[in-house]
A and B are shown apart, each in its own frame.
Chain A
């Protein structure tokens, strides 16, 4: 039983990180029709921003703040202005291909300027264990889970409990109507890109101490988050949350109770089942588009 609880919490913690990354996917898709295949690399790069600032000898908390700021500029503003805006007018597919190219460029750039070797990354959560129902559970797993849930709650409050959030949702649902009723659509879209930059930096803070900072670490994360977004429902933030958590738990339990060798197959099996029987995702809604 203690083994199961440990696995469940570890799975939820990993899944919560997938969920944060997947939320970014869905937000960008909803507001700007951007399928960002570089989303995994967007999680990898902020870790190196933070490490670069840390190497200047500044305290960790200041490096984190600097990491958020640099990510907002590079992964938010520059990404939108220099890649999304010019490519989107040619259609969704060219933009998707451009983000694939961007992912390669980001990996190779980190490899070139930093090194191909993994780097240690400090954790914001202390080591140790806590007692849950008489079971010693890793404090880091619990901390990651709590931090991720807190992040999701804050985002939900922003989207559902503020005027700004309502304007963003209106922009996502129908930009033309939103523009007619006076919502600054362009500003809302930019805000979405900034939120995505903050989310990936937050995910980087949580996952990099476990996965280590490495140019290739975004590959697994990007794929997992993409699967999570599809499984949960690409057009719903809550879908990304459900998909992420489910994927993390399935991955861990399958590896422990079925097979470690075939662990990589289970998320893909889940994806196939969802695409076959519920293509809109577990909590997604059916969407119709004019072609």
Chain B
């Protein structure tokens, strides 16, 4: 072999010598990197599976953008335990079958935490995979049944229906003084779950259900559904559809001149729905767990940063995605290590305060089932804006 040209300071004469030199320099660089683990520690891998296309594209896109913003913020401040967060995104196409395949693929890469999906139906078919892999799944689903299955690795980012529907039913009965309600709900796990809970709750308040109408996810034409609502002549219409369908239903309700109060949940009065439905959204009311119009400074600041970055006002899914990453940060820093199994044990029963972790925006407490307790809001859409009518305090 030729002598080292760098050591001698002589010219490199052959191609073979050049290759040898490059290999030696590479080996030196690797040695230096390995010798400094504190500075060049392994990244913390997060995997996001969300509805980036299909009927839930609004949900998934907001969720993903919230995640990306949180990851960039945290990394800009030195990461978590001096380690950089790295997130991969996969599209469930708003289809539970695809979501299951994507989650399995994501889990095969052994991420620290799985983020998403947002649709309850997709969470339902993926929670068992995360459970088997012993990897925490922080998701956006709201169906009541999700956290009743005894999963140890499943965590919400928003209220479950069992928390919100009793409040909505009480508001319909006591504040709106309604005697009859027409229900419009989407025929999937989310819609069916919400319909079952509100149905039972309204009956407890002796409110009569005069129309009980299911529609398909992605349905475009609500003329017949609304005609049935009109024929039933209810005091209140409860609309529990996904965002885009909510916008179409609101437009059709206005087109057909339905003037009774429209009540719902976050998916009826979210910012995207207001943008899509325009004037037809005015007057709609609902319970929201998270809203960028909340009179809370940390949320106002979040909204400002989000709008600056993405040039649109996020809905609650944007906040949920953002919070999911800050939950990872708070739990990991409390543990002082990166350990998926320990993560799940630590988060059960844990309270994360906005004072200690500003990125969490509002104090939140996780139960042993993965449900959350947090402040909530009763909102009405006025002139295309969410107006907070009541702040519902954290229970514990």
Contacts and interface: CB of A to CB of B under 8 A. Distances in A.
Given A116-B57, A118-B58, A118-B244, A127 B254 contact: yes
Interface stretch (B78-86, B221-229, B344-352): B221-229
A120 B243 CA distance: 13
Most chain-B CB neighbours within 10 Å: which of A212, A215, A251?
A: A212
Interface residues of A, number: 37
B374 interface: no
A260 B53 CA distance: 25
Given A141-B255, A210-B220, A210-B248, A116 B227 contact: no
B255 A117 contact: no
Interface string A208-220: 0111101111001
Contacts of A209: 251
B43 interface: no
Which secondary structure dominates where chain B touches chain A? helix
B227 A212 contact: no
Interface stretch (B28-36, B173-181, B193-201, B210-218): B210-218
B223 A11 contact: yes
A215 B52 CA distance: 12
B227 A10 contact: yes
A119 B57 CA distance: 11
B276 A212 contact: yes
Contacts of A264: 216
A210 B272 CA distance: 16
Contact of B255 (A118, A120, A140, A214): A140
Given A14-B223, A212-B247, A260 B214 contact: yes
B57 A6 contact: no
Nearest to B220: A211
Given A3-B231, A212-B276, A261 B187 contact: yes
Interface string A199-227: 00000000001111011110010000000
Interface string B256-291: 110000000000000010011111000000000000
B386 interface: no
A263 B257 contact: no
Contacts of A261: 187, 214
Contacts of A211: 220-221, 248
B187 A252 contact: no
Nearest to A219: B218
B223 A120 contact: no
A261 B213 CA distance: 8
B58 to A, nearest CB: 5
Contact of B227 (A6, A118, A120): A6
Given A6-B223, A120-B275, 5 more contacts: A210-B220, A210-B248, A212-B244, A252-B224, A260-B213
Interface of A: 3, 6-7, 10-11, 14, 111, 115-120, 127, 129, 136, 138, 140-141, 209-212, 214-217, 220, 251-253, 255-256, 260-261, 263-264
Closest 6 interchain pairs by CB? Answer: A255-B224, A116-B57, A10-B223, A116-B53, A138-B255, A256-B224
9 contacts: A3-B230, A6-B223, A14-B221, A117-B61, A120-B276, A138-B256, A140-B255, A212-B276, A256-B228
